[in-house]
Structure 1
Amino acid sequence: MSEKLNLVIADRDTGYMALLADYIRETEWSKRLSVRQVTKPETLREHVRSQSAQLYLAHPDFDFGEHAGGCRIRLYETKQEAADPAAVTGIYKYQPLHQLLGKLFELYRQLSATSGSNTDKDAAAVYSVFSASGGVGKTTVSIQLARAFAENGDRCLYWNMELVPGTYMPKEADAELTARFVYGLRANAPWIGDCLPGILSRAEPYGFDYFSGFVKAKEALDLTRDDVLKLVEYVKRTGRYDVIVFDLDATIHDRAIAALTGSDEILWIVTEDGESSARTFRFLAQLDQWQGKGGSPDVQRIRFVMNKHTGYAGNALSTDGMSDHRAAPISAKLPYVPGWKHAHGANRTTPEPLFYAGIAKLASDVRVGRGGGPGDYRSDNKIAARTYP
């Protein structure tokens, strides 16, 4: 969970500053912000010089001085000043305080991401669930993984990135608001934080938020590599979540490649049949095509997860029986559940304790240091990717 941000407010209007400071201290914002008030320009410059805060909200009459440091946002008296693209980044002073603080925090996240001042410690961990084949239970694993993270105390977001999402989650995202969110993302608009809550729903009683997918397939198809990289970076730095699970299509479209590239870890779902292994190694080889195109997924971040396990497979994904033998380690095995053929998503719950025990262990393993533990020899993944014909 992110630490509190130190906020310095600089304005000669002491009544307004007291009102804003009291609101922060008496509401949920007190968990995210620690506030100080400044009425003299020289005091503000001293705060900046000593780097006593990460965030400064100052009236245009206040000079920040010559020293660098901190995220600086202006507090404008008029809407016209706040909306002026030629002006220094800022927000309109006279608006509901919860909206002002929401926009302030959103601007901080955007400016910090741009400047690189945000740390990985402040960002959510991003896990993409992927497969080279359809029908392997990828979405079931994704949803149950989100549930396990939430039950473990993490603030979790499940985001469906499939071209045509299934009906696993009960509530569709608002199509108009989703389109506005994507537009704002492309334009780096400060108001996209207002859109995000409207396109998300809560999976009750499991305790995680979800985006059920794009209602119109064309919107998903139109997403560029940059769009998806911005999306991943944005949601991981909102401060709302500890963990984000992206459920991806079994495709090498740019939107999937970008999500894989922006992930801390890739959970690659496979099954016991030979076709799953063959397609997996061919996909791994194809990933090299994205080298030099803004980066490609790091195959050493892949954790192979065998779903629908019946007890026949060993501890490695392999191409036994083919002319060119390849192998890569399997990190987790989830048992085959015949009764789930006619059940959906989050409803695939108890009484299947063995499956959920495997999911819970997988969730715990990937959260340890955001990476694999001893014995997870991911260098083998890189060898497999580069040597498959």
Structure 2
Amino acid sequence: MQKIKVVLVSNDTEYINLFESYLMDNEYNNKLLVEIFHDFNKMNESVKNSNHNILLSELYPTDEELQNMEKVFDRVVLLTENKQGFEEEIFKYQPFDNIVETLLMYYYDNDGRLLESKNERNTSTIAFASGNGGTGKTLLSLMLGKVLSKHSQKVFYLSLEQMLSASSYLESDKPKSSEIFYFLKDNPYRLLSKFHKLKDTDAATGIDFFPVNINFDEIDSLNTLDIENLVKTITSLNEYDFLIIDMDSRLCEINSEILRLSNEIFWILESNETSFMKTKAIMEMDGLQQEIDNKKIHYIVNKFGENLFADNGEYNFNIESKIKFNPEWLNYNEKEKVLEDSEIGSELLKSLSRISLAMEVSDEK
């Protein structure tokens, strides 16, 4: 179920603590997601690249602030102790149940059905996988993400590799943190409420991501329920068009879970037979061929030379694209490769025929 996303801004610490305690355990948890800020400027910085439903603010916004907030929120509501003459106001000192019910009335009809929001997006999950390391999987996933972002699609990149390499490609103004793993293990609802404080946006590509510390143990401690909760947290926001998951190349339960949860899978191969053999072994050992619709798997050969090895047809992989090796890239760092690319991301996009066609029509307009 989509949750109504509310941002509360107040410098009344006691009131905020009471409201937060109330939200942790009540019947509205499945309908409402509330983020709390003490400072208007910090809130503005956190939400500027995202979409929310309601801003509930005790701090009266200036005309300029109000104009900026209307680009992010469906509606701005003032939390008041007395009438301020604002377009929409809610009295502060009333039972929290009453405040929450008033907020929900904006989005639920009399029969309890969720009304449509202008900010609602249906998130498609795309996994990038490979049978061995060093295939260029991360580079290709971000090249696709950049193309999608350039076409006004909101993209979240999630790295679940044991050795996180996102910092080589994406830049953050926020300090790196491992809080995502704490909240995921402690209380997934808290992760949902802290999401916008934990994520950042790479200015060069427009891709959102978690700036996390590299920590082998924390990635290794994740189980299938953690993965399901993490994916559902991001997709339930209804804020992103695409969630791109950069998977580790290990054969394990959490990777199998990612593949099952994904709408599309890019499986990256190298030109040699070893890469094909490992992929076949993974598919057969984990029973994925029976559980996953083969139509959503897109086999891509990266670093392609002149020819594939002999007898490659015996593996029955429908190769959708062959990305040629570019020797000039040996002189580029990883981020430069993503930014300089003008072809590979678009080539990968062709595998997502429905999405690619829609973008072509949009470009023609």
**Among 95, 98, 112, the residue aligned to 1:69:** 112
What residue is the counterpart of 1:301 in the other structure?
A: 296
Q: Compared with structure 1, are the counterparts of its residues 207 and 122 closer, same or farther at alpha carbon in structure 2 (3 Å cutoff)?
A: closer
| 1:319 Cα offset (Å) | 3.9
Contact 1:158/1:244, CA 8 A, preserved across alignment = yes
TM-score w.r.t. structure 1 length? 0.59
Paired AA for residue 139 in structure 2: T
- Within the alignment, does 1:312 sit opposite 2:355 as a pair? no
Give the C-alpha shift of residue 159 in structure 1. 1.4
Tell whether 2:227 aligns with 1:200: no
Aligned mate of 1:33, from 74, 81, 89: 74
SS in 1 for 2:201: strand
Contact 1:174–1:198 (CA under 8 A) maintained in structure 2: no
Report deviation, 1:227. 0.5
Match in the other structure for 1:386: none
Instruction: State the shift of 1:188 in Å.
Output: 4.5
CA distance in 1, matches of 2:263, 2:163: 25
- Check conservation: 2:169, 2:338, Cα contact below 8 A: no
Q: Relative to 1, partners in 2 of residues 1:299 and 1:174: Cα closer, same or farther, differing over 3 Å?
A: farther
Distance 1:158 1:307, change over 3 A: same
The structural deviation recorded for 1:202 is 2.5
TM-score when normalising by structure 2: 0.62
Flag the 1:206–1:350 CA change in 2: closer, same or farther, 3 A. Answer: closer
Corresponding position of 1:362: 348
**Unaligned residue ranges in structure 1 (runs of 5+):** 6-16, 38-56, 72-111, 372-389
Cα distance in structure 1, aligned partners of 2:56 and 2:246: 45
For the 8 Å contact 1:265–1:370, the answer to whether it is kept is no
Write out per-residue CA displacement over residues 284-317 of structure 1, whole angstroms, 9 at most, x where no aligned residue.
11231798xxxx5444321101111223139xx9
**Compared CA separation, residues 358 and 19, structure 1 to 2 (3 A):** closer
Matched, 1:154 2:140: no
CA distance in 2, matches of 1:143, 1:290: 26
Question: Equivalents in 2 of 1:182, 1:68: separation in Å?
Answer: 38
Whole-angstrom distance in 1 between the partners of 2:209 and 2:353: 19
2: distance between equivalents of 1:282 and 1:247?
Answer: 20
Structure 1 residue matching 2:169: 3-state secondary structure: coil
Name 1:375's counterpart in structure 2: none
Q: Which has the higher contact order (CA 8 A, sep 6+)?
A: 2
Structure 2: how far apart are the matches of 1:303 and 1:349?
21
SS in 1 for 2:287: helix
For 1:19 and 1:272, the matched residues in 2 are separated by 57
Question: Structure 2 matches for 1:1-389, cutoff 5 A?
Answer: 28-29=69-70, 32-33=73-74, 58-59=98-99, 68-70=111-113, 122-166=121-165, 167-169=167-169, 171=171, 174=175, 177-179=177-179, 181-188=180-187, 190-288=189-287, 297-313=292-308, 319=312, 325-341=314-330, 343-349=332-338, 356-366=342-352, 368=354
The Cα shift of 1:138 comes to 0.8
CA distance in 2, matches of 1:241, 1:18: 23
Query: C-alpha displacement at 1:282, in angstroms?
Result: 1.2
Is the Cα contact below 8 Å between 1:154 and 1:242 reproduced in 2? yes
**Alignment partners' CA distance in 1, 2:143 and 2:187:** 33
C-alpha change, 1:201 and 1:279, in structure 2 (3 Å) is same
Q: What is the CA deviation profile of residues 194-234 of structure 1, one whole-angstrom value per residue up to 9, with x for unaligned ones?
A: 53234333223222122355521111011110101111111
Query: CA 1:219–1:231 in structure 2 vs 1: closer, same or farther (change >3 Å)?
Result: same
Indicate if the aligned counterparts of 1:128 and 1:265 stay in contact, CA closer than 8 A: yes
Structure 1 distance, partners of 2:332, 2:56, is: 55
How many pairs are equivalent?
280
Using the TM superposition, give the Cα deviation of residue 243 of structure 1 relative to its aligned residue in structure 2, in angstroms.
1.4
- SS of the equivalent of 1:328 reads coil
Contact 2:349 2:356 in 1 (8 A): no
User: Structure 1's 161 and 213: CA in aligned 2 closer, same or farther, altered over 3 A?
Assistant: farther
| Contact 2:303 2:323 (8 Å CA) reproduced | yes
Question: How much has 1:185 moved relative to structure 2?
Answer: 3.4
Q: Quick one: structure 1 residues 337 and 329, their matched pair in 2 at CA, closer, same or farther if it must change by over 3 Å?
A: same
Name the aligned partner's letter for residue 303 of structure 2. Answer: K
